[in-house]
């Protein structure tokens, strides 16, 4: 007897919208929950290599918390580096400054590190919308709150 593997079709995929309030939540733990939903691993029809994930809207990203034994020093010692490719093109910014200037980038970088680094990952990260404040422009029909 031959068992067939279920492979979801594009027309069968149902996408939902989730709203996440990042106020007081830990950065890494929040990023794992978001990556889990973006990949679609919470669905019983999850198939690797198929985009089954949902949309996630994150509000209050500026109020995300960082924990650890050295929380105060982590805000200054955690450095994000980027390089332009030119000599002397290294730019560094601490976690505290990043959360003050661009609070969405810290969370987006944490989620991106948990997604596949290929074409599929690039298209999945586009389903993540992050806002520093409590307001967002997305009109959602039936939003679900991700705890």
pTM of the model: 0.87
Domains in the chain: boundaries: 20-53+63-145
pLDDT at 72: 66
Chain centroid offset of residue 119 CA: 16
DSSP β-bridge partners for residue 20: 58
Q: Enter the CATH code of domain 20-53+63-145.
A: 3.90.1180.10
Beta strands in the chain (DSSP E): 17-21, 55-59, 79-83, 90-94, 128-130, 144-145
Alpha helices per DSSP H over 23-137: 27-39, 71-77, 95-101, 103-112, 119-125
- Quote the CA–CA distance of 140 and 57 in Å, as a whole number: 10
Q: What is the pLDDT along the chain (147 residues), one digit of tens a residue?
A: 888 888 888 888 999 999 999 999 999 999 999 999 999 999 998 988 899 999 999 999 999 988 866 656 778 888 999 999 999 999 999 988 998 999 899 999 999 999 999 999 999 999 999 999 888 888 766 677 877
């Amino acid at each position: 007897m031959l068992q067939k593997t279920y492979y979801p079709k594009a027309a069968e995929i149902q996408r939902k919208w989730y709203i996440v309030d990042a106020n007081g939540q830990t950065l890494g733990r929040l990023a794992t929950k978001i990556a889990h939903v973006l990949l679609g691993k919470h669905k019983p029809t999850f198939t690797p290599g198929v985009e089954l994930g949902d949309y996630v809207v994150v509000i209050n990203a500026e109020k995300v918390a960082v924990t650890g034994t050295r929380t105060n020093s982590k805000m200054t010692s955690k450095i994000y580096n980027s390089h332009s490719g030119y000599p002397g093109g290294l730019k560094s910014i601490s976690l505290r400054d990043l959360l003050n200037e661009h609070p969405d980038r810290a969370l987006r970088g944490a989620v991106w590190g948990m997604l596949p680094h290929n074409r599929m990952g690039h298209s999945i990260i586009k389903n993540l919308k992050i806002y520093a404040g409590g307001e967002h422009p997305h009109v959602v029909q039936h939003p679900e709150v991700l705890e």
